[in-house]
A and B are shown apart, each in its own frame.
Chain A
């Protein structure tokens, strides 16, 4: 099976400044892919190159194996949901949703029926006669979605579509996006800088930074076993412990860190500078089976977060962040022993 979207050696520069380094990327049909990265990382440029709003400086973009690099947006099987919705202010909602169908020459009765069905799908049944100005932000978002999906694009491109909504509405729309994507079977490519949003909706997350793909994979894998330091710090909080491989012994190696020597399993090159990554919830107060002792820590600051307590712990030469169960009853000033499961430790180069 050919991939729905393929980037082949694609790069992009503006005025000699490289925003996307040469990269390859494949997106399968029916996949919900999230491009995740900070602002200015090049994720929107990637999206625009699929939609036809930006042309690669080098490389080719393929959709279903067909080279679309030189095609304008109108002739690509894609549709975009814009960050500011970009609804047509002088048209009714039905006319907005039916616009793409009208451009394709669909008969009036048919396209209005389709528009009504699309509005129904996004929970705005009976709103067809209203104007754009009568809608709330969340409703505009739904109309933009209905308008883009009405033309049955092979690839739906979403450019930070939930950025302007408040938290509760954002959560609700995230669920609806997933529902719509599964129901329509279309390929969704969604751009966001919100890592929680990415984790909750994506089949696959592509972490983008400075025009490069830092990591790519299912949300749980990217979160639990990030491929790079950037991915580890951008996708949720991480404790990064710098170290040096002191000794390699078959399938085991010893790392010298500020917390003392740590024995780990796996392959390593002696004398390599590496980083150990541990999530705050992976630090434990009691020794797990096959655990490592990290040493004694003093709880400096502590904030109650409902499901857990987030603690700043001071150790010899290093500060760690700990997510402790509320039941542990920690207080600022107490001393605790910290442990981690050997299997939880992620080892990264550099």
Chain B
């Protein structure tokens, strides 16, 4: 009897915890289908009225494309740089390897606000204007430690031995990297890429500080928020959330396949 009660209590606890995490998002999604002008109860939908408005809003669709551009571009760059750094540190033992690793990982402890301010000062100094490029560079800076850490963890001694076997059979450095290391790391490379892309997609602080005319979707939403709540904003937010969830699901799928192949 007490075992049944315990099982029931643990399920209930799980339900409450999940509700706590997802309730705000669920409410956001629900009220994007609101009929009336205010995204507050009572719910009078469902209606696609506000979704149609979002899709017709140039500011939002432009922001969406800008976000995709910055997200995919900065993620590709962060993944390539992260791979090169991880490969070098995993394969070429150096006296200062520990220091390099620390320096590569350190930005993860610095708040985006501080990094954004630093970038702003640096770009001012260099005469670089605020632009999507500036946002992209900022996102590479914040995502590089993550892509590096993910890829470094996948470059173990077993992989090194597989590379050694390729060298032994006559492969050059370039062929080992392109034909052995990269294909072997493919799932991890894709996972790193999608994590970086997702974080860039959601990122607001740096995108806000680094942008002027071309802005990303989170910045568009923020500027719309200043004129008050509207179901249109809910729809825009739901869009951001849905694309993030898709990317995260993709990452999980890739990592699951990588783990299965590793066995």
Contacts and interface: CB of A to CB of B under 8 A. Distances in A.
Contacts of B184: 88-90
26 contacts: A52-B168, A53-B164, A73-B164, A74-B168, A74-B169, A74-B171, A74-B172, A75-B170, A79-B169, A80-B168, A84-B161, A86-B164, A86-B165, A87-B165, A88-B165, A88-B180, A89-B162, A89-B184, A90-B183, A99-B166, A99-B169, A100-B169, A103-B170, A147-B169, A151-B169, A151-B170
Contacts of A87: 162, 165
Given A74-B172, A82-B164, 19 more contacts: A51-B168, A52-B168, A73-B167, A80-B168, A82-B165, A86-B161, A86-B162, A87-B162, A88-B162, A88-B165, A89-B184, A90-B184, A100-B169, A103-B169, A103-B175, A133-B263, A147-B169, A148-B168, A151-B170
A72 B169 CA distance: 11
The winner among A72, A74, A84 for most chain B CB atoms within 10 A is A74
A219 to B, nearest CB: 28
Contacts of B262: 89
Given A86-B161, A87-B162, A88-B180, A72 B261 contact: no
Which residue, B166, B172, B186, B263, has most C-beta atoms of chain A within 10 A? B166
Contacts of A73: 164, 167-168
B158 interface: yes
Interface residues of A, number: 25
B14 to A, nearest CB: 34
Interface in B155-202: 158, 161-162, 164-172, 175, 180, 183-184, 186
Contacts of B172: 74
A197 to B, nearest CB: 22
Contacts, number: 63
A319 to B, nearest CB: 43
Nearest to A73: B168
Interface of A: 51-53, 72-75, 78-80, 82, 84, 86-90, 99-100, 103-104, 133, 147-148, 151
A53 B164 CA distance: 8
- Which of A78, A88, A100, A133 gathers the greatest number of chain B CB atoms within 10 Å? A88
A84 B262 CA distance: 13
A78 B161 CA distance: 16
B261 A133 contact: yes
A74 B168 CA distance: 5
B7 to A, nearest CB: 37
Nearest to B262: A89
Nearest to B175: A103
Contacts of B165: 80, 82, 86-88, 147
6 tightest Cβ-Cβ pairs between the two chains A and B: A100-B169, A103-B170, A86-B165, A86-B161, A90-B183, A73-B168
B186 to A, nearest CB: 7
